[in-house]
Structures are given as structure tokens and as C-alpha cells.
Amino acid sequence: MGSPFNLVLVSDDSAKAASLAMECFSLVDSLNRIFSDYDSSSELSLLNAQAGKVARPVSSRLWKIILQSKEAHRQSSHAFDITVGPLSRLWRKARKEKKFPDSIHIAQARELVGFEHLQMNPSDSSVLLEKTGMLLDLGGIAKGYTAQEVIRFLQTRGITQALLDAGGDMAMSQAPQGTSGWTIAINIPENTDKLLPRRLLLQNKAVATSGDVYQYMEHEGKKYSHIVDPRSGYGIASQRNVTVIADDGALADWLATACSILSITEAKRLAIKMKAEVLITELKHNRIMYHATPGFNRYWKT
């Protein structure tokens, strides 16, 4: 899925731990073969290849994540949209070639975006992308979903202390023995190696952070994130970090994306509605500004 995956698990048997770790990464590989748009042979890529042609029956996992994405689209007032693929592909190419996309190409890509152009038939779990050139992009939900699935798998095997970090989207079970939680750091906006002075202390939660520190492009003095607003067609330029704490990895993942696109007020309102917490940090005049839902503070490590 274009990201590193790191696993920490606690066991009293090193051979068992090594074996379970291999099973976990096999699970990750199997989900990657479903969800990744970096793999031309993945189930998602094969579905995208049928855009504008015929409906394609999909696996239960792909059906579930598309259904969840549709609900996320509704709850986020269309800020989160997996049909954004033509735009994200356009901006991915622009970053690679260091060439800012022109307004004509952005307008053309926007014509292919919208859940109204996606048909789902529950009777046979088939999906149709109505327009040729449509592309589904699960980058804002699949890593969190996968992290949570790994934690669920480990729990079925009796491992109750584990953390899966899927490129910054984390899911975890109970705290390691002798601790009050997993200690999680958050980087300062626009900085790859400096961290906020405080740490989070979490267990049985998921946490996701979105920002533009790693993937962005600059044009005429403005910085555009890899996160694309499907409503405008442009990468967001707010230069802020969004951290979401939720009970589920997929929820934390898509909320972090949606809350990066929405205004601060809208983002906080959405997080509360979804029974999650959000922290938005931004740099203004070289000072860090904090905006958080009321319940976020209880997760800071004292």
C-alpha cells in the first residue's frame, strides 16, 4: 500500500512470536493484494480496469471497505471520497515529475469523481464504476483497516499486547506489561524529526496522523499536500497535522483524512459525532497552535 508496516507483539515464547509475526505479515500481504492501487494485479486495480464497462463481483473484504467508505463519505459531508482516484493519480504524477497540474486536467479528473457514479448491488456483491477512467483509491482507509485486522487476528491467537504501525496509522491492543499504555509521539507540523513535547499514552485504541511533511509539492510559494480535496480537485494547502484517536483503525484513518480537508470547526464536530477525538496542530508565525476536541487531553501522557 506504499507504506512500511511495523509490528510489535509481546509473547513469552520467542518462537511463537516469530511464527505469529510471519502470519501477520502474510495477512497484510493478502490485504495488500486486495486494496493496493500500487499493484496492477490487485483486486482493486482489476475493479478499476472495468470502469465504464461492466459490474464486477468483489470479495467480502473489498465490499465491506467500499461500504464503509460510502458511509464515511456521507458522514464527512463528502470530504472523504474514495472515488478521488483520478485526482490523486494526477497529483501523484505531478509530484513525481515536479510539474504542477493545469486547471484543465484537474477539471477533467473532477468529472470522474463522485459516489453518485458508483453502483453497488448487494444481491451479488458487485460494483460498477459508471464512467470510463474512474478510479477508486483506498489510501485513506485501507492501512487503518489492515492494522485493525492484524490486531484482531492476534487476539484470536491469544496475543493481547500488540501494536501494528501501518505507515503512521496505528492500531493496538492492551498495554505492554508493567506500563499504562503504548507511548505514541506526534511530529511537529512541517517537520520530519522534531516531535511535540508531549506524548500520547494509549491502549485498545487506534490512532492516525495526517500531514504534508513527507508528500507534497510547492508551486508559486504555496505548499500542496498529497491529500486532495475531492470538492476542489486541489491538494490541501493548510499546512497542519491532524491526529485522530478512535476505537477502530479504519475509522481513525478516514477521519484523519476528512479532518485534514474540513475546517477546524467542522473537523472537531465530525470527530465528536463519530465518537472519536481529534488534535489539529498548525504552525503560525513559528508558533504551534493546538485545536482539539474536549476529550483529547485525557490521552496525554503525564
Amino acid symbol at 234: Y
The pLDDT tens digits for 167-179 are 999 999 999 989 9
Residue 178: CA atoms inside 13 Å, Cβ hemisphere, count? Answer: 1
Percentage of the chain surpassing pLDDT 70?
94
Supply the pLDDT for residue 240. Answer: 81
- Burial class from Cβ neighbours inside 10 Å (0-12, 13-18, 19+) for residue 203 reads middle
Average confidence (pLDDT) over 124-152: 97
The pLDDT tens digits for 86-113 are 999 998 888 888 888 889 999 999 999 9
CA distance 88 to 101: 11
Average confidence (pLDDT) over 39-53: 97
The pLDDT tens digits for 4-17 are 999 999 999 999 99
Average pLDDT over the chain, rounded to an integer: 92
**Residue that wins the pLDDT comparison between 292 and 98:** 292
Supply the pLDDT for residue 213. Answer: 47
CA distance 230 to 109: 10
Q: Is 262 helix (H, G, I), strand (E, B) or coil?
A: coil
Q: Quickly count: other Cβ atoms within 10 Å of residue 133's Cβ.
A: 15
Average confidence (pLDDT) over 148-167: 97
Supply the pLDDT for residue 211. Answer: 67
Cell digits of residue 258: 476528512
Q: What angle do CA 70, 76, 80 make, to 5 degrees?
A: 60
